[in-house]
């Protein structure tokens, strides 16, 4: 690691299943399925924490039949917070690689929650695929205090 590189310190502080639904009436074993996905970032200044929300919808004929949304909270170390937070603009700037890393952890957690929630049901066949998050997170993520960033 070079002299100017920052070692970003963080720890996982919470996992919350925000939404889980199976709409059996909108599911047919004969229809092809699509997957919609989103990743959002939020901030909690008091806890020096970042939240990463993932939401996945398996759909058929544009109707969701399996929905899951999970939030992981990550507390930043004091030095990391100071380095990433700009008091003048009231923004926290997450470098793209760091934002992607937190999103990868959250997607993996979501994958496990989905497996457990659908275990011993026909919907357990629907797994979250491996996702290239660099296609979803195209650059550094700037989060203004008090708002979410998609």
- d(CA 15, CA 70) in angstroms, rounded, equals 7
Any domain includes 3? no
Give residue 7's pLDDT. Answer: 84
Separation of alpha carbons 107 and 112, rounded Å = 9
Q: Average pLDDT in the 7-34 region?
A: 92
The answer to whether position 130 is within a domain reads yes
In a domain, 128, yes or no: yes
Work out the average pLDDT over 5-32.
90
Please give the sequence-ordered ranges of beta strands (E in DSSP) within the chain, or none if there are none.
Answer: 10-22, 34-44, 49-60, 63-76, 85-86, 91-94, 141-144
Q: Looking at residue 59, what is its pLDDT?
A: 95
Q: Domain of 62?
A: 10-144
114: CATH: 3.10.420.10
pTM of structure: 0.89
Q: Count the domains in the chain.
A: 1
Between residues 27 and 104, the one the model is more confident about: 104
- Residue 5 reports pLDDT greater than 80: no
- In-domain check, residue 149: no
Query: pLDDT (tens digit, 9 = 90+) per residue, 116-125?
Result: 999 999 899 9
Which pLDDT belongs to residue 44? 87
């Amino acid at each position: 690691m070079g002299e100017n590189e920052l070692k970003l310190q963080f720890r996982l502080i919470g996992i919350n299943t925000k939404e889980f639904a199976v709409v059996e009436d909108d599911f047919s074993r004969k229809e092809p399925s699509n997957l919609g996905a989103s990743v959002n970032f939020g901030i909690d200044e008091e806890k020096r924490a970042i939240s990463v929300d993932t939401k996945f919808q398996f759909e058929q004929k544009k109707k969701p039949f399996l929905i899951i949304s999970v939030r992981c909270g990550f507390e930043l170390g004091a030095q990391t917070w100071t380095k990433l937070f700009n008091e003048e603009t009231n923004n926290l700037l997450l470098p793209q690689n760091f934002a992607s890393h937190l999103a990868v952890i959250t997607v993996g957690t979501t994958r496990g929650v989905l497996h457990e929630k659908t275990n011993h049901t026909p919907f357990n066949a629907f797994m979250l695929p491996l996702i290239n998050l660099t296609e979803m997170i195209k650059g550094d993520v700037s989060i203004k205090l008090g708002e979410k960033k998609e």
